[in-house]
């Protein structure tokens, strides 16, 4: 082996080369390699002699110890004749030299293959056959198993269930409102399909609902509380008013859900707001922005407030006829009879934009009612409603204005939400 390594180091090629491992093995048994100096004329004869002795067919003609070969290499390095090499030359076999003008060197004289040679060749064939069979054992002889159903299982349960059948699990994640976080939503291949052991099963785990943390809005004005909730994707819910001489009017006294609680985006937060000493004619200014002018007038009248004036203003972000601004901010305490001025859009409003919505329904044997709802500068509207089987892919192009939130509903329940800008 060391002789072959040295041969390749000085020539840049292996001593025996062929199209198959069997042919290479036969050449190792029956042929002498081309002398290194023929391939690379810069190889000195002393080094070539060491390499050729190391690759002798019969072990008795090779170096018997590492120290013996080391001595021969040292002698070759310093240009000295090695006595061991000279002694071995006396025992060299007679070889048939190639004919003048021949293309190959070192063709050994023809001789009968001895039984031991036949055994060696057979062993090589058997070894190659066994190696090939071992490398292809999974494809040829792999055990077939039915894929278990892991939908709804936790990550650990799914991994253990698949491992028990000799299968591997590859994991992805997706927000889902129907299946608990950390549990399997879908799998591929599906349950009961027949696969080979060792097959990778792709599963998608639920991230649960898209949630946010409720901020602390107690002791804040209703206006500030509304802004803080909006920044977290939450909205003001029911507002109860209580007379309390110790707390200024318009200040939030309690909230539900409380500070730090995890809730779904879009959740309402109910509050209790102080009326102060309880002035009968005091209330909080309603939020009129985004309302139709007629709707805003009706709201002011119902709350005992007076519309002082309206100003028309062009807007690329608000549709014509909708309130852009109000002179008294929403949530600010006001007295009944107080006057309010409004700025109303003349349009043209935001230009329409297009977006491609894609959603894959979870695997199920049942039909599901799918609807897509868009909430944008134009309001809330349903843009798609149809019934499909489990596993169906919804792909829909929708039109929206300004910023939009797209809700995907299955059987009336929200399963996904997308923000478009």
DSSP for 125-173, please give it: HHHHHHHHHHHTHHHHHPPEEEPP--TT-BHHHHHHHHHHTT-EEEEEE
Per-residue pLDDT band at 81 (split at 50, 70, 90): low
What does the angle CA 11 – CA 12 – CA 17 come to, to the nearest 5 degrees?
95
Count of beta carbons in the 10 Å neighbourhood of residue 117: 14
pLDDT of residue 269: 94
The H or E element containing residue 357 is strand 352-360
219 CB neighbour count, 10 Å cutoff: 12
334-366 burial, b if ≥16 CB within 10 A, otherwise e?
Answer: beeebebebbbbeeebbeeeeeebebebbbeee
For residue 166, how far is the Cα from the chain centroid?
Answer: 23
Separation of alpha carbons 333 and 122, rounded Å: 101
Q: Is residue 88's pLDDT more than 80?
A: no
| Residue in 64, 22, 6, 127 with CA at minimum distance from that of residue 14 | 6
Section 261-273 average pLDDT = 88
The residues of the chain that CATH labels 1.10.510.10 are 2-110
Whether the pLDDT of residue 252 is over 90: the answer is: yes
- How many angstroms separate the CA atoms of 170 and 399, rounded? 36
Tell me the per-residue pLDDT of 179-213, one tens digit each, with 9 for 90 and over. 778 899 899 999 999 999 889 999 998 877 677 88
Burial (CB count within 10 angstroms: exposed 0-12, middle 13-18, buried 19+), residue 82? buried
**CA 375 to CA 411: how far, in whole Å?**
19
- With contact defined as beta carbons under 8 Å apart, do 147 and 190 qualify? yes
pLDDT digits (tens, 9 = 90+) for 103-112: 444 444 444 4
Beta bridge partners of 381: 374
Q: Topology of domain 142-206, per CATH?
A: Trypsin Inhibitor V; Chain A (3.30.10)
> What is the average pLDDT value for the chain, to the nearest integer?
82
Architecture field, domain 2-110: Orthogonal Bundle (1.10)
Q: Say which DSSP state 351 is in.
A: P
User: Considering only CA atoms, which of 342, 340, 333, 330 is closest in space to residue 223?
Assistant: 330
Q: Where in the chain is the domain with CATH 2.60.40.2560?
A: 352-420
User: Which tens digits make up the pLDDT trace of 138-183?
Assistant: 444 568 899 999 999 998 999 999 999 999 999 887 777 677 788 9
Using CA atoms in the order 51, 52, 56, 60, what is the torsion angle rounded to 10 degrees?
Answer: -70
- φ and ψ at residue 21, rounded to 5 degrees: -60, -35
Which pLDDT score, from 0 to 100, does residue 80 have?
66
Mean pLDDT along residues 317-346? 90
CATH number among 3.50.50.60, 3.40.250.10, 2.60.40.2560, 3.40.109.10, domain 352-420: 2.60.40.2560
Q: Locate 170 and state its tokens.
A: 């590859």
In the chain, what is the greatest distance between 2 CA atoms, to the nearest angstrom?
128
Within 13 Å, how many C-alpha atoms sit on residue 231's CB side?
9
Both tokens of 366, joined, read 């049942």
pTM of the predicted protein model: 0.31
Spell out a b/e string for 120-134, using b for 16 or more CB atoms within 10 Å of the CB, else e.
beeebeeeeeeeeee
User: CA 48, CA 107: separation in Å to the nearest integer?
Assistant: 18
Comparing C-alpha atoms, which of 106, 121, 1 is closest to residue 55? 1
DSSP-assigned letter for residue 61: G
Q: What is the pLDDT of residue 89?
A: 53
Residue 290 pLDDT > 60, yes or no?
yes
Of 20-34, 248-262, 287-301, minimum mean pLDDT range: 20-34
Task: Output the pLDDT for position 3.
Answer: 84
Of 159, 243, 236, the closest CA to residue 201 belongs to 159
Place 90 in a pLDDT band, splitting at 50, 70 and 90: low
Which residue, 413, 340, 421, is CA-closest to 179?
413
């Amino acid at each position: 082996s060391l002789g072959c390594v040295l041969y390749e180091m000085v020539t840049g090629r292996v001593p025996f080369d062929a199209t198959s491992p069997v042919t290479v093995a036969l050449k190792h048994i029956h042929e002498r390699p081309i002398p290194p100096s023929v391939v690379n004329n810069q190889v000195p004869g002393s080094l070539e002699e060491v390499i050729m002795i190391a690759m002798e067919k019969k072990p008795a003609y090779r170096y018997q110890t590492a120290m013996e070969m080391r001595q021969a290499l040292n002698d070759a390095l310093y240009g000295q004749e090695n006595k061991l090499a000279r002694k071995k030359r006396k025992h060299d076999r007679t070889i048939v030299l190639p004919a003048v003008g021949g293309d190959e060197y070192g063709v050994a004289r023809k001789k009968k293959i001895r039984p031991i040679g036949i055994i060696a060749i057979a062993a090589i064939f058997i070894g190659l056959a066994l190696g090939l069979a071992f490398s292809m054992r999974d494809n040829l002889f792999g055990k077939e198993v039915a894929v278990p159903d892991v939908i709804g299982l936790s990550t650990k349960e799914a991994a253990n269930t698949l491992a028990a059948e000799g299968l591997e699990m590859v994991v992805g994640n997706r927000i889902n409102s129907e299946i608990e976080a950390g549990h399997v939503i879908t799998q591929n291949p599906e349950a009961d399909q027949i696969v080979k052991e060792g097959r990778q099963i792709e599963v998608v785990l639920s991230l649960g609902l898209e949630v946010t943390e409720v901020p602390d809005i107690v002791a804040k004005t209703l206006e500030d509380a509304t802004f803080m909730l909006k920044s977290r994707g939450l909205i003001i819910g029911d507002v109860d008013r209580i007379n309390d001489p110790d707390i200024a009017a318009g200040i939030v006294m309690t909230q539900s859900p409380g500070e730090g609680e995890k809730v779904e985006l879009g959740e309402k937060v109910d509050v209790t707001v102080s009326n102060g000493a309880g002035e009968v004619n005091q209330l909080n200014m309603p939020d009129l922005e985004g309302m139709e002018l007629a709707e805003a007038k009706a709201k002011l009248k119902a709350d005992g407030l007076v519309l002082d004036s309206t100003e028309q203003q062009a807007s690329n972000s608000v549709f014509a006829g909708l309130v852009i601004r109000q002179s008294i901010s929403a949530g600010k305490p006001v007295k009944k009879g107080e006057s309010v001025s409004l700025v109303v859009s003349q349009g043209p409003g935001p230009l329409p934009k297009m977006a491609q919505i894609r959603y894959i329904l979870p695997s199920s044997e049942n039909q599901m009612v799918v609807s897509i709802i868009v909430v944008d500068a134009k309001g809330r509207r349903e843009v798609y409603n149809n019934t499909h089987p489990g596993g169906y892919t919804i792909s829909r192009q929708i039109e929206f204005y300004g910023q939009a939130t797209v809700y995907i509903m299955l059987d009336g329940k929200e399963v996904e939400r997308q923000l478009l800008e």
